Amino acid sequence: MNPKGDLILLAKARGLGTPSFDTVQDGPPHAPQFTTTITLRGDTLTTGQGRTKRDAERVAADEALRVLYGENPPSDFSADVGLPPGASLPVYADVLSQALLVAHERTPADSHVDDVRRLTVRLYAGLMRDLGLLAEESESAT
């Protein structure tokens, strides 16, 4: 889906706060190299490199998710909300955090974090769809 958005969602769900993304550019103007460092609660979590700022953030966020999930990464829930595999949703942190709170309240106390995540994604995708903020290819999949 969206590694950066997924990381923000996971960090908030675990009560870790919002991760910080710090990106620096190196190299000549015709061939820049970007490096993103992700910190969480003041500690460096991961770094990632890419040819664009977005690529560096994505690589770093992918690695950060692997660190936080360890050996048990969740499944891709895109199909659950009518999105094609690998599709992403726009990230509006305040709306996403409210969807997470609602999902947390609606799931039983003994639920697995993936149950909360799945409901959060469904609620958030529904809001994005209702607001007309899903990309055209995503809407055609529903």
Asked if the model's pLDDT at residue 95 lies above 90, the reply is no
Q: Is the pTM of this model over 0.75?
A: no
- Strand order through the sheet with 33-40: 20-26, 33-40, 43-50
pLDDT tens digits, residue range 18-46? 999 999 999 999 999 999 999 998 889 99
Q: At what angle do helices 113-130 and 93-106 cross, to 10 degrees?
A: 130
Q: How many domains are there within the chain?
A: 2
Region 127-131: mean pLDDT is 81
CATH code where residue 14 lies: 3.30.160.20
Query: Are 61 and 89 in a shared domain?
Result: no
pLDDT tens digits, residue range 61-84? 989 988 887 755 555 555 555 666
Query: Are 61 and 40 in a shared domain?
Result: yes
CA–CA separation, 135 vs 128, rounded Å?
Answer: 10
Query: Are 83 and 60 in a shared domain?
Result: no
* Contact by Cβ (8 Å): 8, 1: no
CA 21 to chain centre: 13
Query: Are 84 and 136 in a shared domain?
Result: yes
pLDDT of residue 141: 39
Query: Are 85 and 61 in a shared domain?
Result: no
Query: Are 62 and 85 in a shared domain?
Result: no
Query: Are 45 and 28 in a shared domain?
Result: yes
Give the start-end residues of each E strand in the chain: 20-26, 33-40, 43-50
Query: Are 48 and 19 in a shared domain?
Result: yes
Query: Are 101 and 49 in a shared domain?
Result: no
pLDDT of residue 58: 92
CA–CA separation, 103 vs 117, rounded Å?
Answer: 8
pLDDT band at 57 (very low <50, low <70, confident <90, very high): very high
Which structural domain range is residue 35 located in?
A: 3-69
β-pairing verdict for 20-26 and 43-50 = unpaired
